[in-house]
Structure 1
């Protein structure tokens, strides 16, 4: 398994809560209209036909902007779904779209397309919230996810809250059974007309007790299972008694004979130290020849372990350092010497690097003056310093050549 590749399931269709309808008066123009049931679209005709059998509706060809697809307006306002781990299921950004595509995408602080800070006025944003949730339709054959996109305010708040609950189980690699419902709501404010809109709601079919007990104790058909109660942990006294009661392991037939007892009194620490001071060997007062071996090599100088390398790459990925050159620059800055490859790191160096990246991940970052700064600012500071140093070196080399 390649540890620095992001996991995901193939998207096989979309779940929609509206459609385009003619404006009327013989015009070819269309307008968006909300639905009271879910609409499914996919480039796979067979999946839409199977969905129509499950959820009702008539499958039909759909002239999608990306090409010919198939659609069915179901008769159901609730779908049984399974939510994959959150890194494959949920994303949320402020986005600005135009005819040329997505112009901006940010998290309220950093804009990812230009790789700069967010330029929107927080009190009057040009960008709109875009929430995307990917789920597996529980009763539909096939492996893949169906994505629902919404730019609604209430959906953004409520889906995010539900996904945070999902993360509790996602950390254990579990997929939670759930129901995706389409609720019809209205908002009435003074001096304004009543607004009616549809909100997708994710309702997890797991009780809080089941989550706390360690997972989704629910069968795939929705039947609850009985939660097993773990036995109490044994006390220290009980553990000691168990160890003492263990029978001696049966020796192999070809095993070496145990060393016979000498009947001599064990040496004291002073006698052992005196023996070492006389050259590490020789004959002690007991008449026994004592030999000592060289001290073991320091494990900290051994090459970094496979587990350490995996942890380093995982932390780099979480911090957004996907380019090898950037990772080497940050590694060199943390360790204080030039690093050309992570394979040259020792156990001690890898431990220092992992500890520092862990602190950054938790927000414990400081500049050279000791002021606390964000993780993104810290990384940007290191990369900018490296770029500046490279430019200065190139300038100096050019001047020497002239």
Structure 2
């Protein structure tokens, strides 16, 4: 017999932001599906339950009229299922094909990485968040989208504002306002580049949407660009920082990577598992169903906590440890099923094959700055907020 979903009153949004993993471990052990009152949503935390959800979009739908993402960004492909999702995903795929990434985008990513390091390599110290990870992700995404006359700082602010608004389960009015400002700014930036990309198509994402066989409306283009600016900037930024933090905190593993370049990909994947940059996303229950022994009802709202699933002790040995040498196994850092992240190949190239090898290869004796604090935050989206480092000149 299925159990009713328990209501949890003693988990706060503040505790989840500061460090969600103790709460996740408790939920996995005692209440794998639980209504956390502070978040106003049923959180799902076990690996196997999330895989079940992602394999059954008819029961656990991405489409959701009350989704925060819909309110902030518009009705994007992330909140569509079936044929509607397939057609919009197909429209952006030309820009993400492995050959296009390898031959067109990767050379640009290398130039961006080297130019950024050139700006601080003689300083001996920096915070990698602002000097490298954020501009690397932002400048690379601007190239891929086809945006012009936008600074990397402006795009980064837009991205963070959108992600804060999408994760605004506390309904903070200032967060709502910043999200709207970002949305309006992105709409204006899209309008600037549309005429040129319509007249002269290129490999950019906006161009791919304009040339799609299934003609996109301006509302579709706007919504999908906003989704890409959100996850497509924060995710590689945070993965650069998380991987660097993991390696700098574990000198033996850093030595292994420096001796064997093939291990960069393992370091990247382990970072995405260890601190999943997109830690939670929503789903909607379309019919009464039992999940993890808990009775769900039609209309229930779910928060899919992949940040918890990627530390599920039933799937990963010593999951709280960063370990690039752990046996290779699948994780949920890029989601699963039809909504598996379209930018996975791009992130693996930009972060694991280009940005991190350049950073560690050029900065001699790179190490954490013991005089400064590494800060992390978030649970819907999580990553380092600062990563102060030093190196020998």
Q: Same fold (TM over 0.5)?
A: no
The structure having more radius of gyration, on CA atoms, is 1
Q: How does the TM-score come out when normalised to structure 2?
A: 0.19
If each structure's helix is expressed as a fraction of its own residues, which one has the higher value? 2
Identify which of structures 1 and 2 has the higher relative contact order when contacts are C-alpha pairs closer than 8 Å and 6+ apart: 2
TM-score normalised over the length of structure 1: 0.19
Larger strand fraction of residues: 1
